Every structure is written in C-alpha cells, then in structure tokens.
Amino acid sequence: MDNSIQPKSFKSKRINRAIEVSAQMFLHQSIDEVKMTDIAGECGVGVATLYRYFNTKTGIAIAAMTHLWNELRDMFSDIFESEVFLRQSGLKQLHDLMRMFVVLYEAHPSFMRLLAEFDLIMLKERVPKEMLREYEKSVINFYPVFEKAYLAGLEDGTVREVEDIKLFYISHAHSLMEVSKKLIQGEILPSDNFSFAVAELETLINSAVCFLKKPEV
C-alpha cells in the first residue's frame, strides 16, 4: 500500500488534530506501540478516515515528525534572530549554535528517543526519499545561521578561515546528533557510563570551537 500523504490532509482541521494527537502519543509511548485505532479514538477521527488520508501508520508517523520538527524550528528561530544573539562575536554565536544539540538532549529527550526510532523505521521499511521531502524541509537546518555566524567571525577576527565550512558543519552536526541519540537510548555495555552525557557532548562542541577559533597573533 502506498504510504504517501495526501496534500488535502493538511487542509482539514480534523486531520491536523490527528497529526497533533499522534505526535503526542508517539512521544509518550512509541511509534511501534501506538495503533491507528488508538489515534482514532483519541482524536475522534474514524480509522477509515485516517487510512484514507495517510494510507498507513508510517504515513501518519511522517506527518507527526514533520509537525514536531516545525514546532522546534519555530522555537529556535526566535533565539537566533534575537539582538542578544547577534550582538555576540561570531565565535560565540557558533558555540551557542552547536550547544543547541545539548538543549535538544536535555530538554527534549522524548523527541530524541522518538527520532532514533523513526530513523530506524524509515530504513527498515525502505521508505522512498520522495515521501520524505516535506519532512526534510521541516528538519532543523542550522547551517544558514551557522554560515552567517562563521562569516561574522571572519569579519570580527574571532574565527579562522576553514577550507570547507559546510563540510565542517555537516560532520559535527551528524556526530552530535548520533551521539545524542545513543546517549538517550541508554547504557548497553558494562563499560558504558552515561552519567557524564552532557559533558561528553560539550567536549565535542568545545573541540570544534577550539578548531574554529582564530589563533592569537
């Protein structure tokens, strides 16, 4: 069965309600545990209606994750557009941007746990990339702000020139996100000790910032 989300679903208040409800249910339980009948019962939309709009639970999971990313993006946008943030040196802006991964880990652990599950489902079900276009647009992309902060740092002399700043950003963003998801999932090996999880993330961030800092002449 096709998993694609029909555009008309987003024009319906009832379907928008179903997306919001499913997002909260996935956060508090998991995608695997929540059934379509559970979502239908909670939001007052018939199961047949949900299947007509989303076709499968994977479809509504994609819509729910898109909704959650949009909420987070709106929250962070206010921070990075504020005068307080922009008055800082370019290097301090870069540091604060990278610390958003710590904020996600500390303040939104249920979302990070859900994100890890969602990624595995997408891989397991081999969901076509074209189905994830709207989802991809919603995922927080700090790069435009990161690049702007980097250029500000070059101008104010706090940041050194990097050959490929986008590659630098992508490498560290992937690393911080994957480490965050691993820490959220919990200890597995006898040698694992995640009691210093935040310090572990901050070590990665500080290493990156140290690399970006322009050496004092």
Q: What is the pLDDT of residue 137?
A: 87
Q: Quick: pLDDT tens for 59-104.
A: 999 999 999 999 888 888 888 889 999 999 999 999 999 998 998 8
> Does the pLDDT at position 2 exceed 50?
no
Distance, in Å, from the CA atom of 58 to the CA atom of 63, rounded to the nearest integer, reads 9
Residues 142-161: what's their mean pLDDT?
A: 94
- Asked if residues 125 and 58 have their Cβ atoms less than 8 Å apart, the reply is yes
Q: Which two tokens stand for residue 132?
A: 């994830």
Distance, in Å, from the CA atom of 124 to the CA atom of 118, rounded to the nearest integer, reads 10
**Could you give the C-alpha distances from 84 to 80, 93, 122, 142, 158, in angstroms and in order?**
9, 10, 39, 18, 18
> Does the pLDDT at position 28 exceed 70?
yes
Q: What is the pLDDT of residue 122?
A: 95
Q: Which of the pair, 23 or 13, is modelled with greater confidence?
A: 23
Per-domain boundaries in the chain: 7-212
Q: What is the pLDDT of residue 10?
A: 43
Residues 26-54: what's their mean pLDDT?
A: 92
The architecture (CATH level 2) of 7-212 comes to Orthogonal Bundle (1.10)
Q: Quick: pLDDT tens for 102-122.
A: 988 898 899 999 999 999 999
Residues 165-183: what's their mean pLDDT?
A: 92
Q: Which of the pair, 198 or 12, is modelled with greater confidence?
A: 198
- Look over the chain and give the mean of its residue pLDDT values, rounded to a whole number: 89
- Asked if residues 146 and 100 have their Cβ atoms less than 8 Å apart, the reply is no
> Does the pLDDT at position 9 exceed 80?
no
> Does the pLDDT at position 155 exceed 90?
yes
> Does the pLDDT at position 187 exceed 70?
yes
> Does the pLDDT at position 1 exceed 70?
no
Distance, in Å, from the CA atom of 23 to the CA atom of 46, rounded to the nearest integer, reads 17
Q: What is the pLDDT of residue 197?
A: 87
